[in-house]
Structure 1
Amino acid sequence: MRPPATPEYDSPRVLVVDDDDTIGRHLEIGLRSNGYTSHWSRTGAGALAETARAPYDALLLDLGLPDADGLDIARTLRAERPDLLIIILTARTDDIDIIAGLDAGADDYLVKPFSLTVLLARLRAHLRRHTPTTHAPPLHLGDLVVDTAARRCTLHGIDVPLRPKEFELLAVLGRHTGQAVSRETLMAQVWDENWFGSTKTLDVTMASVRRRLTEAARTASRPADLPRITTLRGHGYRLEC
């Protein structure tokens, strides 16, 4: 459960977890100078203790920590804080490593070395999308209801647990029911309009959305009419009810 907010944390709160002194100090100072409340932890244990102590909005997580595997930290915090924005900072560039990070619960990743300007742009985009849309009516997709104002997805009134990016991806497709939505459009609206590099994060997140909807239908108390997500090879996806 998210710790209660206090007046000390009026600005967006970002926890940097990296054992590299140069990177950690640079990020902590850079974030503070750009209006964020930031804290730097060098270990996985320190990160877990700090997130239990204070209500953070985002986590910048290095995978190569001295006392723990960063993927394990991501899994633990994703289970405890479904709303926490997790961005992995990694020197690993292989697709399998990136997929492992996303499967562990990360929302995004940045490959080292990266500029502070790029990181700040990613943070702004992600945190902006975490802000509820107060006037949008719920989307009724068969028996599935996607309420963007409350950030809830329900099936027959029962919550379907979705990670932030899974929820946003489903919402974008739901707003364009029956229409083909390109990969570029989905990356821009769910991740970052200035995204560069592999879009494999989209495929991993889409696969997870499908799994979660299938599991929700399997455990539902009565048969459920779920939307179908069709892959359009070479283009993107289409959601149909």
Structure 2
Amino acid sequence: MWILVIEDEKRLSDVLRRGLESEGYTVDLAHDGRAGEDMARVNGYDAMIVDWRLPGRDGRAVIASLREDGIVTPAIMLTALDDVEHRVAGLNAGADDYLSKPFSFEELIARLRAVLRRPPLSAQDRNLSLGPLTMDTERRNVVVGETEIILRPKEFAVLEILLRQAGAVLSRSVLAERVWGSALYVSDNVIDVTISGLRQKLKSAGSGGIELETVRGVGYRLREIDPASA
């Protein structure tokens, strides 16, 4: 197994490298965010261990950028920031797990093994469709008919959830939990604005045959409709 460690504290990164190698892993080190991101883009790592506070580019931005480009290498985020808000932000950026400093090496290894055990997405899981709308969740692209539309990360996440449960009405609280990590940190207005932007982009691409419907007092539903009625 090939692991990338992005950590600017050289003493800690050396300790991690030696410990991981003693467990049988092959380890590459990067000491700043931009270098680590470049390495993650060109090498097929099995997992990444990424510090939040990095020179060049912080770990949260590194992971978010990789996820936006369809790179799904499992990532564990390390940070001294242990409050709920930062944990939620790290996970929302695309981290698979979050470990607060100081931590035990045994716990890190246990968490690393856990993320490595998670099965990769199957082609069926990656490719979603409804009427003229198709989504590739790994490449993170959305096409309506023959028109590709560019979505913000939260718009993409909302659309993916609605597509996976097409026809079902999802409440704002469900969307808040699954997209923003907690209903405590996002207002209904933020969700409504995200839905409005997503709906406008779908409409501009000519999304006849599907409807992003507001179910008053309940939530939102993505459903297939007769194109003639669109």
* Alignment TM class, shorter chain as reference: 0.5 to 0.7
Check conservation: 1:48, 1:77, Cα contact below 8 A: yes
Out of 182, 190, 213, the position equivalent to 2:198 is 213
Q: Gaps (5+ residues) in structure 2?
A: 224-230
Q: Gaps (5+ residues) in structure 1?
A: 1-10, 191-197
Q: Distance in 2 between matches of 1:162 and 1:37?
A: 36
TM-score between the two structures when normalised by the length of structure 1: 0.57
Check conservation: 2:4, 2:49, Cα contact below 8 A: yes
Aligned length: 210
Check conservation: 1:89, 1:111, Cα contact below 8 A: yes
Counterpart residue number, 1:108: 96
Q: Distance in 1 between matches of 2:63 and 2:126?
A: 32
1:124 aligns with 2:117: yes
Query: Considering only aligned residues, what root-mean-square deviation do their CA atoms show, in Å?
Result: 4.9
Using the TM superposition, give the Cα deviation of residue 62 of structure 1 relative to its aligned residue in structure 2, in angstroms: 0.8
Give CA deviations for 1:18-42 in whole Å, capped at 9, x if unaligned: 1234543454455556665431222
Q: Distance in 1 between matches of 2:62 and 2:126?
A: 36
Moved more, 153-162 or 15-24: 153-162
Shift in CA distance, 158/53, structure 1 to aligned 2, threshold 3 Å: same
Larger radius of gyration: 2
Using the TM superposition, give the Cα deviation of residue 14 of structure 1 relative to its aligned residue in structure 2, in angstroms: 3.1
Amino acid at match of 2:112: L
Using the TM superposition, give the Cα deviation of residue 110 of structure 1 relative to its aligned residue in structure 2, in angstroms: 0.3
Counterpart residue number, 1:133: 123
Using the TM superposition, give the Cα deviation of residue 217 of structure 1 relative to its aligned residue in structure 2, in angstroms: 1.7
TM-score between the two structures when normalised by the length of structure 2: 0.59
Counterpart residue number, 1:194: none
Amino acid at match of 2:99: V
Give CA deviations for 1:123-151 in whole Å, capped at 9, x if unaligned: 432xx23x3335x7964435422467987
Counterpart residue number, 1:17: 6
Shift in CA distance, 43/227, structure 1 to aligned 2, threshold 3 Å: same
Shift in CA distance, 106/155, structure 1 to aligned 2, threshold 3 Å: same
Counterpart residue number, 1:200: 182
Give CA deviations for 1:70-122 in whole Å, capped at 9, x if unaligned: 3444455455x43243443222133443454456x434340314512023213
Q: Distance in 2 between matches of 1:46 and 1:138?
A: 31
Out of 55, 58, 62, the position equivalent to 1:69 is 58
1:154 aligns with 2:139: no
